[in-house]
Structure 1
Amino acid sequence: MDERKSSRMYFIGKKEDLIQAKRTSVTLDGRDILIVYHQRVFYAMDLQCYHAGSTLLNGDIEEISNKLCLVCPKHKYKITLAEGEGLYRVSNLAEKVPTRLWYSKGVKQRVHKVTEVDEDIFVTLSDCPGWIESDYYQTEKGREELSKAQELDSEPDPDADED
Structure 2
Amino acid sequence: MDIKEIQSLIKFVAKSGASEVKLETDDIKITIRTGPTSSGTETTYVQQIPMQAAPVAAPAPVASQPTPESQEKEGEESKYITIKSPIIGTFYRKPSPDKPAFVEVGDSISQGDVLCVIEAMKLFNDIESEVSGKIVKVLVEDSSPVEFDQPLFLVDPS
After TM superposition, the score normalised by the length of structure 1 is: 0.23
After TM superposition, the score normalised by the length of structure 2 is: 0.24
